[in-house]
Each structure stands twice: as structure tokens, then as C-alpha cells.
Amino acid sequence: MISKYFTSFSNWVAQVSGRPTTFALSLSIILLWALSGPLFGFSDTWQLVVNTGTTIVTFLMVFLIQNTQNRDGAAIQAKLDELIRASAAQNVFIGIEHLTQEELDEIRAKCEAKAKAESAANQAEVQANRKAARAAERATS
């Protein structure tokens, strides 16, 4: 129950915080604070107000945005896993996001090597086809 409310709240905050209106409102607050500096004599308390406010907002936003990013990442990963499962791709890649960085680096290196080998094979095939086409053209000319 709490998780559902937190999810709804974090979605709402993420949506609202990314709008131009929210940016304009935040900028206006900072400008008002800056313009009020002479009124308060640029005192330590005047500076502490903005420092405390921005620190609290930043601290809380980190958790809300991280929650949203975690859910988005998990949803994308689930979609990719389903595409892999339903296609001719290798099902061994499902769930690799749970591996260590070293294991992921090893898999990435193997995939890159395989892609380079396939690319070289494709280039060789294209060149062979061109040679064959030229030879056939010369033979029929």
C-alpha cells in the first residue's frame, strides 16, 4: 500500500519537476531570494535559508528520481528480456543485468569480437560477390 502511494507520488514529482513551469518557478524563487539580499544585509541567516532549502530539496529529489529511474530501468529490462525470449536471439542474455561488472565486460568483449568476425565475413562475402559479378559480366560480354 505504501509502495503504491510512493510510486504514484514519485511519478508525479518526476513529471512536475521536469516541466518548464517548475523551472521558471524555481528560478523565480532564487531571484526573489537574491533580490532580498540587501533587505537582510546579505546576512548569514539570509544565506543559510537558501542553502538549507536547496539542500533539503536536492536530498529528497535524489530518492524520488532514483525510484523513478529504477522502475523505468526494470520495465525496459523486462521488455528487452521478452523480446530476446520471443526472438531468435540467444536466451542466455536474459538476466545478465544481475552479473558483476567483470562478467558483463567479458560478455561484451565476446559479443564485440563475434560482431567483428561477422562483419569481416560479410565484407569478404560482398567482395566475393562483386568479383563473381565482374567475372560473369566479362564472360558474357
Per-residue tens of pLDDT for the chain, all 141 residues: 888 898 888 888 888 988 999 999 999 999 999 999 999 999 999 999 999 999 999 999 898 888 888 888 888 988 888 888 888 777 777 888 888 889 888 988 988 898 899 889 999 999 999 999 999 888 887
pTM exceeding the 0.85 threshold for the entire prediction: no
Which cell numbers in the block locate residue 139? 564472360
pLDDT score, position 11: 84
Q: Which alpha helices (H) appear in the chain, and where do they start and end?
A: 2-17, 20-35, 44-86, 101-140
Distances (CA, A) of 76 to 34, 89, 97, 125: 42, 17, 12, 36
In whole angstroms, give the CA distance from residue 43 to residue 119. 66
Distance between CA atoms of residues 63 and 139, nearest Å? 72
C-alpha cell at 110: 565476446
| Dist. CA 48–CA 46, nearest whole Å | 6
Backbone angles phi, psi at 30, to 5 degrees: -65, -40
Query: What residue type is 27 in one-letter code?
Result: L
Separation of first and last alpha carbons in the chain? 80
- What DSSP state is assigned to residue 95? T
Residues in contact with 50: Cβ distance below 8 Å, sequence separation at least 6, in sequence order: 30, 33
What is the structure's pLDDT at 3? 86
